[in-house]
Amino acid sequence: MRIVTLSQSSLFIIAVLSHHHNHIPRQATSPSSLPPTTPSSGISAPPPSPATLPPSGSGSLPPGSTPPTRPAPTLSVSLESTNPTARPLSDIIVNASSAPTRALPTTPVPGSKPTGVNGVPGLPDANLLRPADYPPLDRPPPVDSPEVEEWYQQVMNSGISIPDIPPTNPGGCPNNTAAATNASICWWTCSGCTAPTDVSDCPDKMTWGLTYDDGPSLYTPDLLNYLDEQKLKTTFFVVGSRVISFPHILQAEYLADHQIAVHTWSHYPLTTLSTREIIAELGWSKKVIYDTIGVTPNMMRPPFGDIDNRVRAICTAMGLTPVMWTRLSPQVTFNTDDFDIHSGLVTVEEVLGNWKDILSNVSTLDHGFIVLEHDLFQQTVEVATGYILPDALAHKPPFTIEPVISCLRKPLAYAYIESNNNDTNPPPAAGGRPTLSSGAPGSAEATGGSSHSWLPSDSKMNSLLGGSIAALFLAAL
């Protein structure tokens, strides 16, 4: 067991340097467990917000006490089962040596269709995708394009009222003290507030709505092969910038009847962005997914779980239902923290400790659950296929493990705008607030109506168009 005595800030700097050496895509380098930093605070990480603390070791703290920023590893993991071909835990570490990746289980063929979804067009030819037709990777897309203007007008005409909530300051909860405690904006990041439109759990006990975020990546085929072998289906929350880099992997996910959902274009914290920028993030993600697999997802997960009522309303107007992960208290969130093995912020033993903490909480729930995991890094896929999934499959009583759309008792076809049934998943009512339950709204164009009253002021629109985005971006590396 590794005892870590460095401060979190020091670790963050090490992680940053390590990322630079490894040429990891930019969006991957912002640790998911840390709020973005501000230019003035330099490169060090601010104190973690309660929402971002891993559940391990912090769930038993008395109310009001300050959890340690770096809980001492106290893991004594006992797993029900592991994968016989798993990489040894001692090799699932920061700066791990590369392991060979497996080929995709099947090669996507243009025109083919997934067997689990009726009424969808054939698969597009991914070789026809031209990166030049899309925004630059891993940064919020420009807002002055004809595409973004069209999506903006659709949102304006959707009938959904967008609350007049200013973008948050970079730096998360410590830099937004008023917003952090403003219950009316329902900012999940700082308060854990969820709205009726959010999906955070599965309704049925012992049911796990399986999700993987931030792909597709080089390591996703390894996960796909394992899921195939175990006859498991999952929900992939994909980043648009990764889709344009690995379109055939997204196609393989889709053809294998996994659920595809939106995780934005550049993986920025959405509450920090202007309304047009949020629309651009979501619109380009929907478009690149549609161009790659021929259907448009109607679920999304906000990067870092960063969502408030403004982001929610934009999502609703764009036909997207937010999906979070289960959160029982500020200290107990169903986040394995697998993302941070890559950077050295946590050890794989701690991640498995988090997983066992999640399992112990699951047994107390009268409903199912959703866990935050990733298919971006070699380490995240190795801990999933080698340890977490084998352990879950051997769990007694057994779990039902399925995509989020399935755990919500809906057919996979309901996960896409083109194939969902608007009788049971109606589009948002004209002029209404977001009122959808876990269903899938139809396209915004279908709703008609208009409401211009929520148009943001110039100052709001411009608040992040100057230097602060670039500064945030650099600081978050």
Q: In this complex, which beta carbon is closest to Zn ion, that of residue 116 or of residue 140?
A: 140
- Candidates 37-45, 216-224, 296-304, 416-424: pick the segment binding Zn ion (CB under 5 A): 296-304
Catalytic status, residue 374: yes
Is 201 labeled as catalytic in the residue annotation? no
Residues 297-316 that bind Zn ion (CB under 5 A): 303
What gap in Å lies between CA 366 and CA 28, rounded to an integer? 35
Name the minimum Å distance from CB 267 to Zn ion.
6
How far is Cα 401 from Cα 184, in angstroms, rounded to an integer? 35
Task: Give the range of 198-206, 213-221, 449-457, 467-475 binding Zn ion by CB under 5 A.
Answer: 213-221
Q: Which stretch binds Zn ion (CB under 5 A): 133-141, 211-219, 363-371, 463-471?
A: 211-219
Binding segment toward Zn ion, per CB under 5 A, in 47-55, 71-79, 205-213, 411-419:
205-213
Nearest to 113 by CA among 220, 238, 244, 251: 251
Is the Cβ of residue 338 or residue 402 nearer to Zn ion in the bound state? 338
**Position 213 contacts Zn ion (CB under 5 A):** yes
Closest approach of Zn ion to the CB of residue 342, in Å: 13
- Give residue for tokens 């308060």: 191
Catalytic residue among 213, 308, 337, 357: 213
- Least separation in angstroms between CB 155 and Zn ion: 23
CB of 214 or CB of 391, closer to Zn ion: 214
Beta carbon nearer to Zn ion, 162 or 244: 244
State in angstroms the smallest separation of the CB of 69 from Zn ion.
21
Neighbour-count burial of 45, counting CB atoms closer than 10 A to its CB (0-12 exposed, 13-18 middle, 19+ buried): buried
Closest-CB residue for Zn ion?
213
Closer residue to Zn ion in complex, CB, 187/377: 377
Size, binding site for Zn ion by CB under 5 A: 3
> How far, in whole angstroms, is CA 375 from its chain's centroid?
11
Q: Where are the beta strands (DSSP E) in 6-80?
A: none
**Closer by beta carbon to Zn ion, 239 or else 413:** 239
Cβ nearer to Zn ion, comparing 170 with 303:
303
The dihedrals phi and psi of 151, each to the nearest 5 degrees, come to -65, -35
35 binds Zn ion (CB under 5 A): no
Percentage helix, strand, coil for the chain under 3-state DSSP, each rounded to 5 = 35, 5, 55
Shortest distance, CB of residue 303 to Zn ion, whole angstroms? 5
By CB under 5 A, tell whether 214 contacts Zn ion.
yes
Q: Is 316 helix (H, G, I), strand (E, B) or coil?
A: helix
CB of 32 to Zn ion, least distance (A): 6
Asked if residue 375 binds Zn ion (CB under 5 A), the reply is no
Q: Is 138 in the site for Zn ion (CB under 5 A)?
A: no
How far lies 348's CA from each of 169, 274, 339, 344, 438, in Å? 32, 37, 10, 9, 33
Q: Judge contact between 371 and 326, C-beta under 8 A.
A: yes
374 phi and psi angles, rounded to 5 deg? -135, 150
Structure tokens at 197: 């439109």
Backbone angles phi, psi at 211, to 5 degrees: -140, 145
Find the catalytic residue in 19, 263, 342, 374. 374
> In this structure, what is the dihedral angle of CA atoms 285, 290, 293, 294, given to the nearest 10 degrees?
170
Query: Tokens 């755990």 appear where?
Result: 407
Whole-angstrom Cα distance, residue 375 to residue 216? Answer: 7
d(CA 393, CA 259) in angstroms, rounded, equals: 20
Shortest reach from residue 214's CB to Zn ion, in Å: 4
Instruction: List residues with catalytic annotation.
Output: 213, 374
Instruction: By CB under 5 A, name the binding residues for Zn ion.
Output: 213-214, 303
